[in-house]
Chains A and B, each alone.
Chain A
Amino acid sequence: MAGNREFFYRRLHSLLGVIPVGLFLVQHLVVNHFATKGEEAFNDAAHFMESLPFRIFLELFIIFLPLLFHAIYGLYIAFTAKNNTVKYSFFRNWMFMLQRVTGVITLIFVVWHVWETRIAAAFGAEVNYQMMENIFENPWMIAFYIVGVISAIFHFANGLWSFFVSWGITVTPRSQLISTYATLGIFIALSIVGIRAIFAFV
């Protein structure tokens, strides 16, 4: 394992982006969507998630540690690339660049979002419908959340595409093309879920 640390880290980075971080993202978006059914439905769903047993361990091993590794190693990956979309404006090269840009935007958004909700909760604030409604009283925060959520979803959907390539699942150009359409579909579907939830609080 000593000789191929980079290989191991890269593969771990790719895996953690999907399992568990990507799955957590989907679950989070789905829970948020309860907001479209009204205040009570959202609070019930949020409360159910909060009252899961061993919550701190679930958060630590399913969210915080994998996310931290993915974020820090991802920054290293993003900043070792020398983007060249001006010279080589191919579709996949644009996706390559956007994957890095959305990764950085998502990180900034997630840090802010965790500070505003989970860390605030640790200091005694209650995370509920009311809290989100208060945040969204500021129209700039709505814009920030839309950009953050869309970035996160794009990063997940496109990351899923490269996950399939990195693990050698989609090898042929045809399978990679179909995978492009499939992940595009995931991006659109989850974006609808995410945006609907945001506007449910407004």
Chain B
Amino acid sequence: MQETQAKTVTFIVSRQDSPDATPYQEEFKLEYRPNMNVISALMEIRRNPVNSKGESTTPINWDMNCLEEVCGACSMVINGKPRQSCTALVDQLEQPIRLEPMRTFPVVRDLQVDRSRMFDSLKKVKAWIPIDGTYDLGPGPRMPEKKRQWAYELSKCMTCGVCLEACPNVNSKSDFIGPAPLSQVRLFNAHPTGEMNKAERLEQIMGDGGLANCGNSQNCVQSCPKGIPLTTSIAALNRDTTFQSFKSFFGSDTV
């Protein structure tokens, strides 16, 4: 006898109506479609917001943008693992599929979180290359091609927040900025023009909530969806800040 019942996919979604509301779980059953991912399933629920008990409910809130794992906006905890929902294929996930927001960040609503702290950290560590002046500063020194290729790997960071979610030292009791902005310091310090502000960035991450808060659990490097060598960056910065602290304490060229 042939299977007549349509294959279904079950989702258990952690929901929260407002930033301070108590979270609750809601189950949804959807008809299976080939090549479904978590976002297409969430879109399907949005089209017809009815839970598995047949009750009409509000559509689920979540963030998304590029849909190809380069923007980092759609990160959420899927079956206990923080990752991007756009590349989370239903075929590769164990059911029921559990969706939760990354609670390391303030939850805005349902699966949507506020990652502002990461962007604030990038501002704090001056994760850019200053090229503005009152006159034309010229083209600047060249970057060797080999180094550019190496730095490209560090530049893949999309500020998605997965490393902060995985880090045991990023939590409500600490003000650790987390691995992502630290690795950006290494990236911008490696650039021949960015290097001109190297000391400023190092002094910044030697401040409170900075580099020294790393406890070497190395969850970040294991969890990074882009495979960025975050712990190598942290160790390299540990070396740089060691030299920087000796320079500024004993007195030498501090910049």
A161 to B231, CA, bound (A): 14
Q: Is the CB of A168 within 8 A of B213?
A: no
Interface string of B149-169 (1 = CB under 8 A from A): 000000000000000001011
Contacts of B232 on A, CB cut-off 8 Å?
Answer: 171-173
Main secondary structure of the interface of A (DSSP, over half): helix
A10 to B207, CA, bound (A): 11
Interface residues of B (CB under 8 A from A): 80-81, 166, 168-169, 171, 173-174, 203, 206-219, 222-223, 229, 231-232, 234-242, 245, 249
Cross-chain contact of A170 among B169, B213, B235 (Cβ < 8 A): B235
Known interface pairs A87-B80, A170-B235, A173-B229; A10-B213 also in contact (CB < 8 Å): yes
Instruction: Tell me which of B169, B174, B235, B245 contacts A165 (CB under 8 A).
Output: B235
Point out the residue from B203, B209, B219, B249 that lies within 8 Å of A88, measured CB to CB: B219
Count A/B pairs, Cβ under 8 Å. 114
Asked if A4 contacts B238 (CB within 8 A), the reply is no
A199 neighbours in B (Cβ, 8 Å) = none
Q: List CB contacts (< 8 Å) of A152-176 with chain B.
A: 161-162, 165-173, 176
CB < 8 Å: which of A4, A79, A84, A92 contacts B206? A4
* Shortest Cβ gap from A100 to chain B (Å): 8
Q: A10-B212, A11-B245, A173-B229 are in contact. Are A80 and B238 (CB under 8 A)?
A: no
Closest 4 CB pairs of A and B: A168-B239, A10-B212, A96-B217, A168-B238
Contacts known (A82-B168, A167-B242); A93 close to B219, Cβ less than 8 A: yes
Shortest Cβ distance from B243 into A: residue:
A168
Q: Is the CB of A81 within 8 A of B168?
A: yes
Contact with B along A1-23 (1 / 0, CB 8 A): 10111111111000000000000
Q: Which residue of B lies closest to A77 (CB)?
A: B215
B168 in complex: contacting residue of A11, A96, A172, CB < 8 Å: A96
Asked if A128 is an interface residue, CB under 8 A from chain B, the answer is no
Interface residues on A, range: 35 or more
Does any Cβ of B come within 8 Å of A90's Cβ?
Answer: yes
Q: What residue of chain A has the Cβ atom nearest to residue B173's Cβ?
A: A80
Contacts of B166 in A (CB 8 A): 84, 88
Nearest chain A CB to B255's CB is how many angstroms away? 16
| Distance A7 CA – B242 CA, assembled complex (angstroms) | 10
The distance from the CB of A164 to the nearest CB of chain B, in whole angstroms, is: 9
CB distance from A163 to the nearest CB of B (A): 10
Sample of 19 further A-B pairs with CB below 8 A, known A79-B173, A92-B216: A3-B206, A4-B210, A4-B245, A6-B208, A7-B206, A7-B207, A7-B212, A8-B245, A80-B171, A82-B173, A88-B166, A96-B217, A97-B217, A165-B238, A166-B238, A167-B242, A168-B238, A168-B242, A173-B229
Q: Are A162 and B216 CB-contacts (below 8 A) given A84-B168, A167-B242?
A: yes
> Is A81 touching B207 in the complex (CB atoms < 8 A)?
no
Q: CB within 8 A of B236: which of A1, A79, A171?
A: A171
Q: List 20 A-B residue pairs with CB atoms under 8 Å apart, sorted by A's residue number.
A: A4-B208, A4-B210, A6-B208, A10-B212, A81-B168, A81-B169, A82-B171, A82-B173, A90-B218, A93-B168, A96-B216, A97-B217, A165-B234, A165-B238, A167-B238, A168-B235, A168-B238, A171-B232, A171-B235, A173-B229
